[in-house]
Amino acid sequence: MEVMKDKAPTSVITDGDIPMKKAIKLVLPQSHHMLCSWHLSRNATSNLHNPEFTAAFNHCMLAGYYDIGTWKKKWTEMVDKFELHDNGWVQEMYEKRRTWAASHMRGNFFDGFRTTSRCEGLHSKIGKFVNSRCNITELIQHLCRLMNHIRYKEIEADFNSSYGEAVLETKFQNLERSGANVFTREIFSMYRAALHRSGYSIVVGYKETSSQYIFLVSKYRGSGREWHVSFQPSTFFFQCACKRMESMGFPCHHVLAVLVYLDVCELPKCLVLQRWTRFAKDDVDKNAMLGSKHLDSFLISRYGSLMSQYRELASFSCRRLEDFHNEKD
């Protein structure tokens, strides 16, 4: 909180440590707290010693397309099947369901993360540069090398998103081009996958109210549930009952199917999250020029990346006296 100028994180994922849970509830009361699915799956295995139960538990944990009523029915069926009515761990997990079941956490922004893998991934990167034999001086030097590498990869990703044009692959080229013009390359690849899936969904009907339309979207020639997509013509606002936009920050294929049905050619602003766009750093640049103290890390990142390039240039220029004088001048 101190580092982030008292701005609390939207979401937190932990392994279920009790003191940490209490601290998060006390200090970050508005943050959504989720338990790591990898740790829960491992706990299910160690507590029940039944691979079939672990598979069923994982399904209840990760299936985010159930509504609350359907999820409770599936949970009850699982408990009945394995005769776990008196199992303490299972009862405890049911009480904590709002912190780990995807159906109960739908709509909270976690960007698709369900484990502490982001943290473990950083540990893995550090491990490639640092080992237990490093002294304190070498540790700092290697960590600086790691930071330079991370900054370089970020600049490389920014360059790929800013220059060149994406090759259009779907039959909905206007919507695909619209996404390519605003999203970063990585987010665009996920958006395009959703656009592909929208081709297998159809609008089977709609209801009209005083302020909005509610479209019923179903899988083509598929029997099963229908998803409700609301559309407010006055504000051109779309929202789906699956809440993928709220959870991930980019539109689901249900909403995209409705856009195709309405013959919309441009991606609406309500379906574009600023943090996933190619222009996400523009405001940061503007504030940096105004001397905002909150953006020191952004300037340091650019400075570090440039210094990394300068060091590489210097290592070549110092080998010949003529090159040295030329670069110095």
What confidence tens digit (pLDDT) does each residue in 207-254 have? Answer: 998 889 999 999 887 766 789 999 999 999 999 998 999 998 889 999
- Give residue 7's region: left, alpha or beta (phi > 0; psi -120 to 50): beta
Do 21 and 82 share a domain, yes or no?
yes
Secondary structure E strands in 139-279: 201-208, 213-219, 227-232, 237-240
CA distances to 34, 178, 247, 257, 262 from 265, in Å: 37, 8, 24, 12, 9
| Domain membership flag for residue 110 | no
Q: How many helices (H) and strands (E) in the chain? A: 15, 6
Do 288 and 268 share a domain, yes or no?
no
Q: How many CB atoms lie within 10 A of CB 274?
A: 12
Q: Find the helix or strand (DSSP H, E) in which 61 lies.
A: helix 51-62
Do 122 and 90 share a domain, yes or no?
no
Do 249 and 299 share a domain, yes or no?
no
What is the per-residue pLDDT for 163?
79
Question: Which residues lie below 8 Å from residue 55, measured CB to CB, with a gap of 6+?
Answer: none
Do 198 and 148 share a domain, yes or no?
no
Contacts 24+ apart (CB under 8 A), 88-95: 89/43, 89/47, 89/48, 90/48, 93/40, 93/57
| Residue 156 burial (C-beta neighbours within 10 Å; 0-12, 13-18, 19+) | exposed
Do 101 and 121 share a domain, yes or no?
no
Q: What is the C-alpha separation between 123 and 95, in angstroms, rounded?
A: 32
At 104, which amino acid appears? H
What is the per-residue pLDDT for 112?
83
| Domain membership flag for residue 94 | yes
Tokens of 14: 């932990």
| Domain membership flag for residue 305 | yes
Residue after which a domain boundary falls, among 249, 275, 301: 275
Q: What is the C-alpha separation between 65 and 244, in angstroms, rounded?
A: 10
Residue with tokens 């009850």, as numbered in its chain? 76
What is the per-residue pLDDT for 32?
92
Q: What is the C-alpha separation between 163 and 137, in angstroms, rounded?
A: 39
Which three-class secondary structure state does DSSP give residue 111? coil
What is the per-residue pLDDT for 294?
46
Q: What is the C-alpha separation between 138 and 144, in angstroms, rounded?
A: 10
Q: What is the C-alpha separation between 196 and 171, in angstroms, rounded?
A: 8
| Domain membership flag for residue 293 | yes
Do 65 and 143 share a domain, yes or no?
no
What is the per-residue pLDDT for 286?
61
| Domain membership flag for residue 169 | no
What is the per-residue pLDDT for 121?
78
How many domains does the chain fold into? 4
Query: What does the pLDDT look like over 12-53, one tens digit per residue?
Result: 999 888 899 999 999 999 999 999 999 999 999 999 999 999
Which three-class secondary structure state does DSSP give residue 262? coil
| Domain membership flag for residue 49 | yes
Report residue 125 CA to chain centroid gap: 20
User: 313: domain range?
Assistant: 282-328
Q: What is the C-alpha separation between 318 and 329, in angstroms, rounded?
A: 13
| Domain membership flag for residue 174 | no
Tokens of 122: 């950083």
Alpha-carbon dihedral angle through residues 99, 101, 103, 108, given to the nearest 10 degrees: 30
Q: What is the C-alpha separation between 233 and 230, in angstroms, rounded?
A: 10
Residue after which a domain boundary falls, among 253, 275, 297: 275
Per-residue pLDDT of the chain (329 residues; tens, 9 = 90+): 888 888 999 999 998 888 999 999 999 999 999 999 999 999 999 999 999 999 999 999 998 778 888 899 999 999 999 999 999 999 999 999 999 999 999 889 988 888 887 777 788 888 888 888 889 999 999 998 898 888 888 888 888 888 778 888 999 999 999 999 999 999 999 999 999 999 999 999 999 988 899 999 998 877 667 899 999 999 999 999 989 999 988 899 999 999 999 999 999 999 999 999 988 887 666 655 555 544 555 666 677 778 878 888 888 888 888 888 888 88
| Domain membership flag for residue 140 | yes
